[in-house]
Amino acid sequence: MRNQEAARYARWAASIAGLIALVVVGFYVVRAFRAARRHASRAQVSTSVQQQMQTFAYNGMEGNRTVFTIRASRATEFKTGNPALLEDVWISIYGAKGDRNDSIHTRECSYAQKTGGVQCRGEVTIDVRPAKTAARATGQQSLHITTSNLTFDGQTGEAESPAPVEFTLPQGHGSGLGVIYRTRAAVVRIEHAVKFEMAPTPRTGGVPVQVQAGSLEVQRNQRKVLLAGPVVVQQGGRELSAGQVSVSLGEKFHAREVVAEGNPSIRVSHGGDVLRASATQLQAELSPEGWIEHLTASGRVFGSRQSPKGSSRFSSDRVDFSMAPARDVLREMTATGAVVAQAQQAGVSELLKAPALRLSFGAGRQADRQHIEQAETLGPSTILLKDKRETTALSAPKFVAQFTRAGRLQRLVGATGVEVRRTAPNTATQISTARVLDASFARDGQWSAVEEKGDVRFEEGDKRASAQDATIDRSSGKILLTGSPVISDSLSRTSASTVTLSQKSTEFVAEGGVVTTYFPAKNSKAGAIKNGMEPVHISAQKVAGSTSSGRVAYSGNARLWQGQSVLQADEIAIARDQNMLQATGSVAAAFPQVSGPSLLPASEARKSGSGPTLWQARAQQLTYLGQRGKLHLAGGVTIASGPVSLTADTLDIDLSESHVSTSPAGPTPLGGQFKRAVARGHVTVRQGDLRATAETGTYTPADGKFVLSGGKPTITDGSGNSAAGRSLTFLLPSDTILIDSQEGSRTLTRYRVEK
């Protein structure tokens, strides 16, 4: 995924943790209840009543312990049997263990002596606080409730009012409708329309927190606080909504766990971006000091981001967040179960699929500015990149991404078997595999270099490449293959010490011990290779060329061979589309002439028997035009076979159409059979002790005949005898020479020139 998207996922996680923290702060009221919610005994409470005109007291007893008292400064008892009127009424709740110090106070109540019930019509205040000894140890923390029309049941110890309620906390204030205080069950419940606001603190970033809920219930014995839905928690641009939020308390009644259920969702507006997250359940574990230690989102976890620049989505079965100690700051995030992260921006779509994903976070310069240090997939994963031009898919058993402090993706490593598959319209799919892929990224977020290590393989249509290692540089678009690299297609195979391929063009360079083999093929572009013909091999120190133009040049002791035929030169260049081969610099060739008579003297030919004639040629330049079947040698040519040799400035050879040899990469003359050869410029033919010179020499292998003409054709034997004429004809099979001169024609035999 892009580095920007990864940073936004970090903000999603931080927002989830932050909102859960807000809920937790909202429930620090539980510390006000920590000494005020113990079960009273369900046994019948024995009572005793004292009556005085100026005071009234009623004690609720459990055994010999007073669990609550009802006191009034004045009591009026009516003769008609109506409830007594109590004034300046105080109800004190101590609890079965004397660990509570709650009170209910009002100006006036009615008292039913038979039931012990108290009815207070006017304003009533309820204070829920720790026992005095605990208060001195921890500081005064209390919940103060104001309501009216309160009923207190002296037998059950339960207080209830349907009237509107206002309450204050050490951290804020709120309101609701209806309150129930069950002293025996140790439950305080605000029935409806709960709203409260927590004062801004450094922990809330200086922004107040507003909470709305259907009801609020504190269960001391279960050490739990419940907010029934719909629950909405807001702080600035952040909002958490849920069907229910519950807070579990520790032994000292501090919040230890917060659970949001009923499809909780989070919405965050920040800098023009809107982030949303939802799950079946959100669960936070807290330290005794109230800091979030661990946060879990489970069941259809989903997140999204929408901004003017693009959008992104995230989903998984479960996400776990680990927080830094004493700070609501992310340390690590682990997503498990069908993890999918998708982003789309500027026409580019990015998709990550993994069975699990782990992110490690670092703190930024500001507390709310975190960045991902490392992202790691846990299991076989796929990364899909798509734009208008192409689609690239990366898959591996494991990916690890590293990020800078600024949140920029710096490095991506794929391990234990990586495949990269690239597809584009009207082109063959490109596939590369390696044991390890290591990609570096530049400041602009684009990759700058890629290293592939271990059994590297590339594939595109019928083109293949393999090596031990590969390095790809984005700026130059070059791919460097090292470690016994091999490139091949259906027609050829090349090995070397290093191979450099260009992604921006079809050019390539191979260096160091280059060996190329061109395989015979039917219906090749050259169109003349014969099925079953031997492959053509070329070796050199370097080869450079282009697969699109079909031109390759082998340099540095270049050598081409096919069967018994060999061509050597400083450079051998092949132009496939022009069907041309050119060798330059110290050209040396050896190739057999299968057809035609032997070039040996008749007596020696009879002894040696039949067999191909082996020609050896040297020149500075050799050019072969495959379509025309023409071979041109220049720059001081020497060609020899057995006792016969020829030197000239240039030599042109016509090859038989039925024997023209070409390779799939271009033509090669090595298997071709001479049909006619013409030498020009300072032509010299030697056969044994005979030496003949002329300006032009023509050789036709079909009849084994050399014809010299032009200039002043002259023949000289080993004794210095010479003869000249308009032309000289060597008839190799019959060991005779014809001299055509002004005096007529004559024939020489036994290779001796007569005086």
Mean pLDDT, all residues of the chain: 80
| Cα distances (angstroms) measured from residue 239 to each of 22, 236, 488, 598 | 10, 8, 60, 101
Residue 131 pLDDT class (50, 70, 90 cuts): low
Query: What distance lies between CA 332 and its chain's CA centroid?
Result: 20
Residues 624/665, Cβ–Cβ less than 8 Å: no
- % of the chain at pLDDT higher than 90: 35
| Cα distances (angstroms) measured from residue 373 to each of 319, 407, 410, 723 | 18, 8, 10, 95
Residue 111 CB partners (closer than 8 Å, separation 6+): 56, 58, 70, 72, 75, 83, 84, 85, 86, 117, 118
**Both structure tokens of 265:** 């969702």
Backbone angles phi, psi at 241, to 5 degrees: -125, 145
User: Can you spell out the DSSP letters for 512-563?
Assistant: EEEEEEEPP-TT-SS--PPTTPPPEEEEEEEEEEETTTTEEEEEEEEEEEET
Helices and strands: H and E segment counts in the chain: 3, 54
Per-residue pLDDT reduced to its tens digit, 700-712 = 887 878 899 998 8
Backbone angles phi, psi at 374, to 5 degrees: -155, 140
pLDDT, residue 44, reads 32
Q: How far apart are CA 256 and CA 258, in angstroms?
A: 7
Residue 1 pLDDT class (50, 70, 90 cuts): very low
The continuous run of DSSP H or E covering 698 comes out as strand 690-700
pLDDT, residue 417, reads 93
Q: Which domains does the chain have, with CATH numbers?
A: 576-749 (2.60.450.10)
46 DSSP β-pair partners: none
Residue 88 pLDDT class (50, 70, 90 cuts): very high
Higher pLDDT, 718 or 716: 716
Residues in the chain: 755
Most confidently modeled range among 382-391, 412-421, 654-663: 412-421
User: Can you spell out the DSSP letters for 454-507?
Assistant: EEEEEEETTEEEEEEEEEEETTTTEEEEESS-EEE-SSEEEE-SEEEEESSSSE
pLDDT, residue 533, reads 66
The residue behind tokens 């009034």 is 72
pLDDT, residue 366, reads 53
Q: Is the pLDDT of residue 156 over 50?
A: yes
Question: Which stretch of 137-141, 393-397, 571-575, 739-743 has the lowest confidence by average pLDDT?
Answer: 137-141
pLDDT, residue 748, reads 66
Q: Is the pLDDT of residue 696 over 80?
A: yes
pLDDT, residue 490, reads 82
Per-residue pLDDT reduced to its tens digit, 408-464 = 788 999 988 999 998 988 888 989 999 999 999 887 767 789 999 999 998 988 888
Residues 16/297, Cβ–Cβ less than 8 Å: yes
- Encode burial over 215-233: b for 16+ CB neighbours within 10 A, e otherwise: bbbbbbeebbbbbbbebeb
pLDDT, residue 568, reads 94
Q: Is the pLDDT of residue 262 over 60?
A: yes
pLDDT, residue 282, reads 94
Per-residue pLDDT reduced to its tens digit, 469-481 = 999 888 888 899 9
User: How many C-beta atoms lie closer than 10 Å to residue 326's C-beta?
Assistant: 11
Question: Which stretch of 76-85, 152-161, 602-611, 665-674 has the lowest confidence by average pLDDT?
Answer: 602-611
Q: Is the pLDDT of residue 714 over 80?
A: yes
| Cα distances (angstroms) measured from residue 42 to each of 47, 63, 114, 422 | 15, 11, 19, 75
Q: Is the pLDDT of residue 16 over 60?
A: no
Of 372, 366, 288, nearest in space to 330 by CA: 372
Of 655, 674, 654, 657, nearest in space to 612 by CA: 674
pLDDT, residue 114, reads 79
